[in-house]
């Protein structure tokens, strides 16, 4: 661990880190703060966020998580003049997903590996940095990269959840550790990627890791001391033991057969939360079941509460108040951890207090946030797992065999969801919710050889069923089913006012503003501004790297700024495959900040050529390669990419050096590179499996080699 206060003139090296080397333009003066100003972040300041529109004090700007800025100095008529004001290079080349916060002239944000940065919000000067020094072997227990979605502010502290399960409170002025508590039991496979939230002086944090055999929960800690205040479990434990609460006793009746408590059950609260101070309710979004196949965890079916549910709790005690389950008996990774927005909306002439969510399953839900009553629900993208929602019961009207009990089934959407973690935005000016939507189908089918393996990826599915076709024509045909969208959704009419079609999925999070603007980044590297009322594109910026985080806007000394965290990574870079590789996207982890008339420039993007395959001779009998493909998709696909084609976040195994091939079993089975994040798989696969995977990888490398035309013909470098 380290926290350090940085002097602005320490060295030229620091200037380069902050993107202000000798070639860069002069920095603007730092924000001036009166010596007597009280900079404490309080409940009153967050509740009255519109009274200080120049700040961004909590994850969604306000407790309702609307992600709408009342600022309008940057607007549809002048956004074309938006230019880069400053940038800061972050430390590690992994995915960047954080929403930055701005309070009293200072920006607080995170990069990958849970590193926290405090930056002067006007000049871009790095004030301090805290690195929790997460062990790199923690990558073994991360489904979706070493990401972090940001910090929370309260009083004079900054709070961050770390990948290895700690909640840390830092002094806002110095970055020194005020307290640090473990939120998980020693030796367990939980991780934390989400941003904490604070309600009534309690810091709330969930966790992730469903697929690695864990039981979900959310915990509240005293913001001043770090003492645990309460914990709410989201799935029941062993029914032979006392239940932790009446809610768990109620939930246990919906789990039928099997020993789910031995395989975890899932239900992690890995992202979205919201708070209504008037109703005194905290809302949490609960994740998927684990293993994904319901027959692998709850053999006789059942709804499996509180999987894929929105749950309302009392912030003082964690007491259960109500729930709404979006995907009963979840067997598809249809989490309800997606962004929840609280708003007051007139419906049929009545002003309703609503909660809105567009989770992975493809339906847009409008709930009464006081009671959990379903007001309306319609699908915002094409789906085929359900035919609609029964308004009498609130349950989905299931299509034929949605649980793939009769065999493999092509399902839309797939586990990436119709909308994933990237935040939506609600504009009270237009009355629209802006959704980063997508279409990514998936073939679900049970793995006939599945056995639960502690500490490793467990879904109960045969992943090779979802492999991209190797035939180019079939690949093009399947690719036509994949796309992305920016949808301006009217929650009252439950229909789209306008849609921007994108050829690729995984569009970034959204910001809407009173300037009639919507901002969004793209994995292809563009940062874009649209008219909020029509969807017309008005401005773009080449970020030189993938953008998936959500922007914010703040104002200091009369200047309105727009800020966005960028950095290629996240699950799309891990999934890889031909479509992702064709983007030729590289990681450049940065914070980018814009203002009208900004003149800063990014350095040129220089990319070295990719290494070409250097292949040993090996037995590539078809049956060995076929076996290797099955095991690869079961154990390697989620990190090294579809078809062994990397998205350039993890090593592309097709391009492995001869040294890797020579040490294959030492790396794959024995964990020789554990410290770099590559664990040993001896507990999960056999030596024969390792040899089969090696054969499959070499077969894929030979395809690449043939396409290149010669072993010494490097591919042309891209952006």
Q: Which residues contact 18 (CB under 8 A, 6 or more apart)?
A: 86, 88, 89, 119, 124, 125, 126
Structure tokens, 248: 């768990």
d(CA 477, CA 463) in angstroms, rounded, equals: 20
Produce one character per residue of 112-141: b if its CB has 16 or more CB atoms within 10 Å, e if not: bbbbbbbbbbbbbbbbbbbbbebebbbbbb
Q: Are 307 and 361 in contact (CB under 8 A)?
A: no
- Crossing angle for the helix pair 622-635 and 687-708, to the nearest 10 degrees: 100
DSSP structure class, residue 243: -
H/E stretch holding 69? strand 68-69
Among candidate residues 388, 366, 509, the one with its CA nearest the CA of residue 438: 509
3-state secondary structure of 49: helix
Q: Are 484 and 524 in contact (CB under 8 A)?
A: no
Among candidate residues 151, 174, 173, 177, the one with its CA nearest the CA of residue 162: 151
Say if residue 377 is exposed, middle or buried (CB neighbours under 10 Å; 0-12, 13-18, 19+).
buried
3-state secondary structure of 640: helix
Is residue 670 part of the annotated active site? The answer reads: no
d(CA 641, CA 653) in angstroms, rounded, equals: 9
Structure tokens, 328: 């009963």
Beta-bridged to residue 378, according to DSSP, are 364
Catalytic residue among 333, 642, 652, 689: 333
Q: Is the peptide bond before 193 cis (omega within 30 degrees of 0)?
A: no
Q: Which residues contact 634 (CB under 8 A, 6 or more apart)?
A: 447, 457, 462, 463, 464
Q: Which residues are catalytic?
A: 333
């Amino acid at each position: 661990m380290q926290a350090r206060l940085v002097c602005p003139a320490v060295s030229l090296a620091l200037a380069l880190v902050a993107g202000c080397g000798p070639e860069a333009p002069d920095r603007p003066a730092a924000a001036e703060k009166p010596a007597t100003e009280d900079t404490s972040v309080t409940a009153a300041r967050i509740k009255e966020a519109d009274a200080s529109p120049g700040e961004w004090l909590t994850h969604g700007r306000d407790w309702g998580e609307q992600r709408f800025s009342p600022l309008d100095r940057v607007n549809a008529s002048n956004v074309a003049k938006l230019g880069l004001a400053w940038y800061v290079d972050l430390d590690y080349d992994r995915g960047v997903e954080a929403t930055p916060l701005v309070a009293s002239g200072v920006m607080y944000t995170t990069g990958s590996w849970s590193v926290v940065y405090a930056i002067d919000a006007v000049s871009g000067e790095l004030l301090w940095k805290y690195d929790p020094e997460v062990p790199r072997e923690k990558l073994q227990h991360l489904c979706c990269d070493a990401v972090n979605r940001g910090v929370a502010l309260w009083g004079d502290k900054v709070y961050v959840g770390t990948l290895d399960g700690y909640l840390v409170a830092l002094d806002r002025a110095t970055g020194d550790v005020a307290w640090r508590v473990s939120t998980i039991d020693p030796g367990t496979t939980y991780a934390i990627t989400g941003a904490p939230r604070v309600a009534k002086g309690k810091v709330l944090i969930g966790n992730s890791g469903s697929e690695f055999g864990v039981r979900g929960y959310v915990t509240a800690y005293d913001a001043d001391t770090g003492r645990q205040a309460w914990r709410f479990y989201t799935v029941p434990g062993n029914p032979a033991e006392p239940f932790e609460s009446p809610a768990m006793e109620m939930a246990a009746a919906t789990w039928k057969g099997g020993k789910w408590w031995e395989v975890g059950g899932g239900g992690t609260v890995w992202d979205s939360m919201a708070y209504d101070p008037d109703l005194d309710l905290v809302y949490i979004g609960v994740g998927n079941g684990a293993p994904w196949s319901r027959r692998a965890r709850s053999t006789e079916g059942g709804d499996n509460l509180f999987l894929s549910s929105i749950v309302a709790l009392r912030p003082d005690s964690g007491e259960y108040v109500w729930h709404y389950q979006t995907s009963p008996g979840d067997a598809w990774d249809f989490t309800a951890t997606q962004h929840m927005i609280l708003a007051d909306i007139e419906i049929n002439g009545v002003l309703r207090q609503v909660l809105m969510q567009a989770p992975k399953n493809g339906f847009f839900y409008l709930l009464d946030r006081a009671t959990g009553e379903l007001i309306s629900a319609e699908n915002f993208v094409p789906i085929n797992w359900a035919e609609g929602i029964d308004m009498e019961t609130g349950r989905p009207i299931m299509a034929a065999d949605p649980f793939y009990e009769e065999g493999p089934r092509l399902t839309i959407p797939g586990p990436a969801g119709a909308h994933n973690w990237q935040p939506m935005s609600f504009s009270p000016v237009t009355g629209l919710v802006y959704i980063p939507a997508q279409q990514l189908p998936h073939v679900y089918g049970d793995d006939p050889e599945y056995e639960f393996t502690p500490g490793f990826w467990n879904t109960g599915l045969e992943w090779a069923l979802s492999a991209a076709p190797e035939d180019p024509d079939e690949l093009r045909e399947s690719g036509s089913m994949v796309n992305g969208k920016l949808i301006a959704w009217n929650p009252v009419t439950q229909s789209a006012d306008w849609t921007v079609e994108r050829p690729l999925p995984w569009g970034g999070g959204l910001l809407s503003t009173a300037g009639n603007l919507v901002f969004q980044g793209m994995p292809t590297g563009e940062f874009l501004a649209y008219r909020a009322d029509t969807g017309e594109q008005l401005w773009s910026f080449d970020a030189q790297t993938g953008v998936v985080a959500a922007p914010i806007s703040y104002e200091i000394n009369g200047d309105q700024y727009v800020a966005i965290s960028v950095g290629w990574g996240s699950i799309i870079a891990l999934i890889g495959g031909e479509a992702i590789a064709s983007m030729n996207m590289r990681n450049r982890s940065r914070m980018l900040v814009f203002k009208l008339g900004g003149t800063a420039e990014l350095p040129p993007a220089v990319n070295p050529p990719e290494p070409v395959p250097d292949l040993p001779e090996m037995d590539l009998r078809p049956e060995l390669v076929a076996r290797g493909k099955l095991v690869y998709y079961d154990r390697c696909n989620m990190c090294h990419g579809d078809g062994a084609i990397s998205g350039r976040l993890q090593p592309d195994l097709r391009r492995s050096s001869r040294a890797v091939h020579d040490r294959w079993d030492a790396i794959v089975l024995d964990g020789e590179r554990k410290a770099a994040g590559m664990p040993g798989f001896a507990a999960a696969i056999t030596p024969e499996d390792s040899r089969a995977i090696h054969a499959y990888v070499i077969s894929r490398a030979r395809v690449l080699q043939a396409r290149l035309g010669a072993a010494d013909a490097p591919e042309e470098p891209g952006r």
